[in-house]
Structure 1
Amino acid sequence: MEKLQKVLDSLVSDGATGVLLDWRSPEGRWTGVSGVAERASGQPVDPAGWFRAGSITKTFTAVVVLQLVAEGQLRLDEPVTQWLPGVPEDVTLRQLLNHTSGLYNYTDDLPDTAKLYQDRYDHWDPAETLAGAVAKPRGSGDWAYSNTNYVALGLLIEAVTGRSYEDEVRSRVLEPVGLTRTLLPGDDVDLPDPQLHAYLEVEGELVDLAQANVSQAWAAGQLVSTAADLNRFYAAVLGGELLGADELVAMLTGVPNGDGTAYGLGIAHETLPDGRVLWGHTGGIFGYRTVSYHSLDLSHQVTLAVGGGGGGEPETGPVLADLFEG
């Protein structure tokens, strides 16, 4: 797996603090690391380390919603105003899931890095977040990635089930699949050990953002996990353990997003230079960058977590192409 190790080392050379990889292929499983888990101590990266998975949370949210569809509690092409008063009356469940609702993306208004660091322990209320976004001008309805859609879906899950979003994800996804190293932290600012740290540059200095309240991301991006658990999760999704056949087909029906890729219901696809298609998601939050993509037959699975160190974020397409080269 020398080629895979070179990819990891190159990410650290480009500025990452540390990286870890869980790779599955017909040849077997390979786990790799590069860099350090924490700059001050020089602690080595643990391939089983915990990290913030960001928007990979969206696939978890989508699975719960599609389970509610299968149960007849929701319908994909009906408006959601019954559950979410204040949302435009023509916004449907499918539009929230595939980012065609036109709802303003609230994260476009997040503060600069210095203010983000200063406020990193603050709690965000999802209902207030949604209300603020809905009050902004609405887009055209063409595909446009908006974290607001998934905050709305979290609130919808709570309205339909009468239980918290976190409890529904735990009981419907984490527990059935045995994802013991995945959690929804709420207002808990600490990561379990061993952990991968991530850093952002604030006024010329790198600051550690492993400890933070990520309630501002909530159902759109609060997940904390490990590479092995994310590979197990996507195997359960694509392998039909969590969704029925109709719901999985709906999930994998993509909307072109203008750059040659497409976005389904909480899941995206990337086409490699050799024509192979992978399904999964990326996540980026507080200096963390995660890439988790999988072949539909599950012959290949890859989850890569990058702890930022002031360098640029790796681009998903080129990273996947490098990992799968040869």
Structure 2
Amino acid sequence: MASKDTTQADCLAKIDAILQESVAAGVTGLSAAITSARGYWTFVAGVSDLGSQQPITSTHLFGVGSITKIFTAVVIFQLIEEGKLRLTDTVSKLLDPEIYRDIDNAAEANVDLLLSHETGIDNWEDDPTWIKVGRGSKLDPSHKWTKVEPLDYIRRPRLTAPERGNYYYANTNYELLSFMIEKVTQNTAEAEIRRRILEPLGMDHTFLEGFEEQKQGTMTKRYHFATEEYREVAGINPAFPELQDGKLIDCTASNLSVEWTAGGIVSTPSDLVKFATAIRDGKLLSAESLATMKMWRPTSSEASEMGHGLFRMKDSEKHGWLGHFGGVLGFTGALWWREEGDCVISVLSNVGVIHSGDVPSSGAHVIIKSKIRELAAELAGL
């Protein structure tokens, strides 16, 4: 019978191989972290810069995309616990009408529906004009977006969202939640995230790009799969060099200010697993708040359910995992923890896939399509 050390070494080798396979398939670089009571492990593969071939390290910083939404949700639930917000509070009750004017279904959307993406509000991220301006051919890489600016793209009759009460994923929901945070705290949403989460947990390699300064770590370069679908939907920006015979673009000149609290956080897998562990262990929220986060509802995918700021999916062995994927221009990522037992995993990569359709691999693919979650659970002794 194999010893525990042999089994662990085998798991570590298999996880390394999964990341290397992703790089071989076309991903520029990946960083991962796994934590449990049994130990803490980091993994890297690929490069942070295709030109210099600088290897990825565990302290390299990546955009985390919509994993940011978990941070926003945690602050919202803390404010509910403090009596400053209620799940029934509406946009029209709390916000200046100028923020949400002419946006269908916005006025009566409440905190409950905003958290669970059931407001019936359009997603500015799906607007064809915004895609080109925000992530494609018409993007101004030097432009810093204001917090309200993305909403200007959906000040019109809704085009894509279903009726209120039905699931439809929208960055808009979390932008409106963040304006609520700012209203009731009289502080910026990013400052509240820092005060309530980043500083208490010692997340020194995490910040909200475009609204805070980077203090530690080194940013990777950011790349994006320039597939035919991306070229058609977003278009190639003349400021972004094409690489590898047009398979990739280098979008390092861009910034994540447009994403704000829906997707603008930059971090490391090590910081993210620290955050997830604190949520799971009740260090940030009460048991009642955690239970509300886990009120699962169907999504557009049979593979996942949506709560209030969290998704739930199952691995090949039917075990539940809670967390979120993230995808923005130049980055993809994942943060998940097992529903039963002590195991948290995060994978981040410096190549984006959003608007790109079918791609050979990504940080999210590593979680979904490989055995990495099962191997992480084995490392954790589950």
TM-score (norm 1): 0.91
State how far apart, in whole Å, the 1-side matches of 2:352 and 2:315 are.
27
1:233-289 C-alpha deviation (Å, 9 max, x unpaired)? 011111111111111111111221032211111111111111111111111111211
- How far apart are the structure 1 equivalents of 2:214 and 2:191? 19
Matched, 1:128 2:128: no
Q: CA deviation at 1:114?
A: 4.1
Task: Choose which of 297, 301, 314 in structure 1 pairs with 2:362.
Answer: 314
Deviation at 1:29, TM superposition (A): 2.0
Q: Deviations over 1:63-93 (max 9, x none)?
A: 0011111111111123231112346443111
CA distance in 2, matches of 1:25, 1:277: 16
Q: Which residue of structure 2 aligns with residue 231 of structure 1?
A: 273
Instruction: Name the structure 2 match of 1:90.
Output: 108
The offset of 1:290, in angstroms, is: 0.5
Aligned to 2:32: 21
Partner Cα separation in structure 1 for residue 186 and residue 155 of structure 2: 23
Task: Verify the 8 A CA contact 1:64 1:172 in the aligned structure 2.
Answer: yes
The aligned counterpart of 2:191 is 167
2:72–2:178 Cα contact (<8 Å) kept: yes
Residues 1:43 and 2:54 aligned together: yes
Q: Does 1:277 align with 2:320?
A: yes
- The answer to whether the Cα contact below 8 Å between 1:270 and 1:317 also exists between their aligned partners in 2 is no
* Structure 1 residues 36 and 170: CA distance shift in structure 2, 3 A: same
1:217 and 2:241 aligned: no
How far apart, CA to CA, are the structure 1 residues paired with 2:119 and 2:309? 14
**Greater Rg by CA:** 2
Q: Secondary structure at the match of 1:302?
A: strand
Deviation at 1:315, TM superposition (A): 7.7
1:59 positional shift: 0.3
The match for 1:4 is: 15
3-state DSSP class of the match of 1:103? coil
Kindly state the Cα deviation for residue 177 of structure 1 after the two structures are TM-superposed. 1.5
**Do residues 105 (structure 1) and 100 (structure 2) align?**
no
Counterpart residue type for residue 333 of structure 2: T
Q: Determine whether 1:244 maps to 2:266.
A: no
For the pair 1:198 / 2:222, whether they are aligned, the reply is yes
Alignment partner, residue 372 of structure 2 = 323
Structure 1: state its 5+ residue gaps: none
Query: How many Å apart are 1:139 and its aligned residue?
Result: 2.6
Determine if contact 1:190/1:210 at 8 Å carries over to the other structure.
no
Instruction: Verify: 1:58 aligned to 2:58, yes or no.
Output: no
Deviations 1:298-326 (A, max 9, x none): 51111001121885453847634520345
Aligned to 1:74: 85
CA distance in 1, matches of 2:92, 2:360: 40
1:212-236 CA deviation, whole Å, 9 max, x = no partner? 3211111101101111100000111
Count of residue pairs the alignment pairs up: 325
Aligned equivalents of 2:53, 2:286: Cα separation in 1: 46
The aligned residue for residue 176 of structure 1 is 200
**In the TM superposition, what whole-angstrom CA distance separates every residue of 1:119-178 from its partner, at most 9, and x where no partner exists?**
122122222333542533153121010011011111111111111111111111111122
Structure 1 counterpart of 2:250: 208
Letter aligned with residue 17 of structure 1? T
1:114 to 1:316, Cα distance in 2 relative to 1, 3 A:
closer
Measure the CA separation in 2 of the matches of 1:120 and 1:237.
Answer: 35
**CA, structure 1 residues 275+240, in 2 after alignment: closer, same or farther (shift >3 Å)?**
same
Partner Cα separation in structure 1 for residue 213 and residue 253 of structure 2: 5
Match of 1:140 among 163, 176, 181: 163
State the one-letter code of the partner of 1:121.
S
> In 2 relative to 1, CA 148–191 (structure 1 residues): closer, same or farther, beyond 3 Å?
farther
Is contact 1:272–1:317 with CA below 8 Å preserved after alignment?
no
* 8 A Cα contact 2:91 2:176, kept in partner: no
Contact between 1:235 and 1:298, CA under 8 Å: does it hold in 2? no
Structure 2 residue runs without a partner (length 5+): 1-11, 227-235, 237-241, 354-358, 376-382
User: Secondary structure of the equivalent of 2:80?
Assistant: helix
TM-score by length of 2: 0.79
In structure 2, what is the equivalent of residue 156 of structure 1?
180
Aligned residue type for 1:273: S
Describe the shift of the 1:313–1:100 C-alpha distance in structure 2 as closer, same or farther (beyond 3 A): farther
Q: Separation in 2 of the partners of 1:120 and 1:263?
A: 33
SS in 1 for 2:157: coil
